[in-house]
Chain A
Amino acid sequence: MISLRKVWIVAERDLRIFLQYKFLLIMRAAWFLAQIALFGLVVNKMLTPEVQQTVGGNYYNFYAAGLIIAMLYSTSVFIGYDIYEEADHGVIEYLLSVPVTRKELVLGRSIGGGLRSFIYVSPMLLFVLYIIGVTHPLQFLVAFISLFLFAFGVAGFSITLAVSIKSSDGFDILLGVLDALIVRLSTTLYPIAYMPSYYASIARFNPLTFAADLFRWGAGIESALLTPPAVAVFGIVLFFSVFTFLGIILHEKRLEGGSWQ
């Protein structure tokens, strides 16, 4: 039987630890500002009105919404780095010795990893919503809840990778490469219609595509190029379920086997 109280205590610990990484948080926020205040504006000016029309009338809005998803992704994966940091300091052994079940521990970490990212990105999300403007509150609520699941799913994905790869250097490199590929092979920065077909076929199933297009739909951006919301919600729920489940199973198996020794 899983105790939700204990899951929350574990999640809360990850929230507090995240706040200690002040330098990282400032740097990520600075990156966001540079992208939104510089890159987005410049690219927006470069695009023809025809192109702007295909993405709902304004590429800047399209880009700003995608940027939120990229931020959400890159901060949610940070839980995997925490796991390595804890392995270095032996904190994993400590966590395994406290009166909490392995399932509560891993679930708490997935939720903590996702929630802290969501909380961190929230002010940026509000800022982007202010720029875009929300026209359908109910629609936005659906998108908002799905983004929660997306953040938890990414945290589960990161935990799965962290426990599958035993070297912290290996994890570091893989996440760097994955970050570049996953973000670029999705619709976070550009619509799928402008991608070569071989890239588009991958991007269509990318969870970042589902999240970015769902967020745009929720924010009221109207474009025929977006993934249908029902498909996007289904994709996110599936992503969340698979990686939360995998994260729990693998994490539990590795930890119980004493692989961190």
Chain B
Amino acid sequence: MPTPIIRIQNLTKKFGNLYAVDHLNLDIYDGEILGLLGPNGAGKTTTLLMLTTVIKPTEGTAYIGPYDITHQTDKSRTLIGMAFQEPKLLWVSTPWAILDWHAKICGLPTNERKKRVKWALEELELWNDRHKTVHVFSGGMRKRVEIAKILIQRPKIAIVDEPTAQIDIVGKHKIWNMLRDLRDEGSTILLATNELYEADVLSDRVAIIHKGKLLVCDEPKKLKDTIPGGDVIEVVLKENITQEHLAELKNTKRVVNILTIKPNHLKIYLNQAEEILPQITEFFMKAQIPIATIQMNEPSLDDVFAHYTGLTIEEAQTK
């Protein structure tokens, strides 16, 4: 049985009458990357801010190692490092000054500090700009400075909030590899993201959170296996489907569930899609609803999210 290094117990944060985080219970194990997946406003960042003791919980608590975040705030922070969603940088500061100070306050000895700061700046392609003030930086460059903080600190528990937002695809892969290395060196990583692919490729386990509540938490593969029916057919129609046709389609053999993304855009969850695909296309031809595109997919974390909420992650975000 793996050892939990973070134990979240009934953690709750209320802003007025709104539950930003609603009685959250979750164990995070030593040495894993746990992806906290949910749309914007799901309560991910609020959870992270409570774990880093930046804000106080309204109710419940969490243990960072042996330390209770409500009573042992100072000790909790000795185990934690956080890279924020929005880079927290004073615009008159330079990357070198920001990272050097961060390393210093985290207690790194001088030689090691200089070495790690140089390494992180070089790896993240910021070395040449290390003495420029961050106000001339692009969003992606600022984000890289923010991420560099935890790469230098190498904390026991690294908390990263949307680590690759605003970063190009090459940069994303580089940061993902650096986070994996950090995990391999002994850090536990709590990754908050609304990017399904990021959660899927990077996380050992994924916790799906919506409206402040934990819906499910498991390995990405196991989560996908929980989708009724093993396959997904995604159909985009040239016309909207009627309720009668939708009901009829639902009754088709081996169709387990249908998610209506739009009246002309359906996700059909079913068993043995290869065999039933001709039947599905025939159904639309008979109903005289022309198909624009049709494709067969493996279930994704988006499907897992949709299974538990009835919404795609984009819909949940807009609602």
Contact = CB atoms under 8 A, between A and B. Distances in A.
B91 A94 contact: no
16 contacts: A13-B101, A16-B101, A17-B92, A17-B93, A90-B86, A91-B88, A91-B90, A94-B84, A96-B53, A97-B52, A97-B77, A99-B105, A99-B106, A99-B107, A102-B73, A258-B54
Interface in A61-86: 85-86
B104 interface: yes
Given A17-B92, A257-B56, A97 B82 contact: yes
Given A13-B101, A17-B92, A89-B90, A98 B49 contact: no
Given A89-B89, A90-B84, A90-B88, A97 B54 contact: yes
A86 B101 contact: no
B187 to A, nearest CB: 15
A9 B105 contact: yes
B88 A98 contact: no
A261 interface: yes
B246 interface: no
For the residues of A in contact with B, the DSSP-based class is helix
A81 to B, nearest CB: 12
Contacts of B93: 17, 20
Contacts of A97: 52-54, 77, 80, 82
A93 B54 contact: yes
B74 A16 contact: no
B84 A93 contact: yes
Interface string B74-109: 100110101010101111110001000110111100
Nearest to B155: A99
A89 B105 contact: no
A236 interface: no
Given A93-B49, A261-B55, A9 B84 contact: no
A255 B39 CA distance: 28
Interface string A9-36: 1100100110011000000000000000
Contacts of A10: 105
B153 to A, nearest CB: 9
Interface residues of B, number: 28
B102 A98 contact: yes
A257 B58 CA distance: 10
Contacts of A21: 92
Given A9-B101, A99-B77, A100-B105, 9 more contacts: A6-B105, A17-B93, A91-B90, A94-B82, A97-B52, A99-B80, A99-B106, A258-B56, A261-B55
Contact of A98 (B77, B89, B90): B77
B204 to A, nearest CB: 24
A253 to B, nearest CB: 11
A241 interface: no
B105 A98 contact: yes
Contacts of A256: 56, 73
B55 A9 contact: no
B107 to A, nearest CB: 7
Closest 7 CB pairs of A and B: A94-B88, A258-B55, A20-B92, A97-B52, A101-B74, A96-B54, A90-B88
B90 A86 contact: yes
Interface in A85-113: 85-86, 89-91, 93-94, 96-102
Nearest to B82: A97
A94 B80 CA distance: 12
A89 B90 CA distance: 6
Contacts of A98: 77, 102, 105-106
Most B CB contacts (10 A, CB to CB) among A86, A90, A97 go to A97
Nearest to B88: A94
Nearest to B50: A258
Contacts of B89: 89, 91
Given A256-B56, A257-B56, A93 B104 contact: no
